[in-house]
Homo-oligomer: A and B are copies of this chain.
Amino acid sequence: MIKSGSSFLREITRLTVQDLGLLEKSKVSCCNVSLSQCHAVVEIGRAAEMSLNDLAQVLNLDKSTMSRVVNTLVENEYVDRLIDQADRRYIRISLTEKGKHLYQSIENNMNQYFEDIFQKIPEHKQKEVTENLELIMNILRNKQD
């Protein structure tokens, strides 16, 4: 296998996904939420407020599945579901206080994970690495248009 930058990028993704899978599973088991629910909470938290379709799209789930996941989250008081008064076909999904706490706790775990990695980069290289990572991030963002 050619050891190119792209293969390193792939391996980085592979390893992080695997690590985060474990991390998420521990979160899931300690908070009595399923993995889908956990992902949903993160996405809602990031967007502050979103519709069901938005959520289904980012999570790659069928809208019926999404509807039920949200339903469970409402029942467990992690999210609020309100009808959009401007267009009453839509629902506005947002986190409750309880949901925000869960979100913050997940965020803290995630940030800690990535911060730990970053801190292992020799200090004199951190600036350069940051610039390069930003470059890659922007390429990825531009892909999604």
Question: In the bound complex, do residue A135 and residue B140 qualify as a contact, i.e. CB atoms below 8 Å apart?
Answer: no
User: Contacts A22-B60, A117-B139: A133 and B16 contacting too (C-beta < 8 A)?
Assistant: no
**Chain A at the B interface: SS class:** helix
Question: In the bound complex, do residue B60 and residue A118 qualify as a contact, i.e. CB atoms below 8 Å apart?
Answer: no
User: Contacts A25-B60, A129-B136: A117 and B6 contacting too (C-beta < 8 A)?
Assistant: yes
Query: Measured between alpha carbons, how far is A141 from B12 in the docked complex, in Å?
Result: 9
Residues from chain B with Cβ under 8 Å of A143 in the complex: 15, 19, 117
Residues of A within 8 A of B (CB): 3-13, 15-22, 25, 58, 60, 110-111, 114-115, 117-118, 120-121, 125-126, 128-130, 132-137, 139-141, 143-144
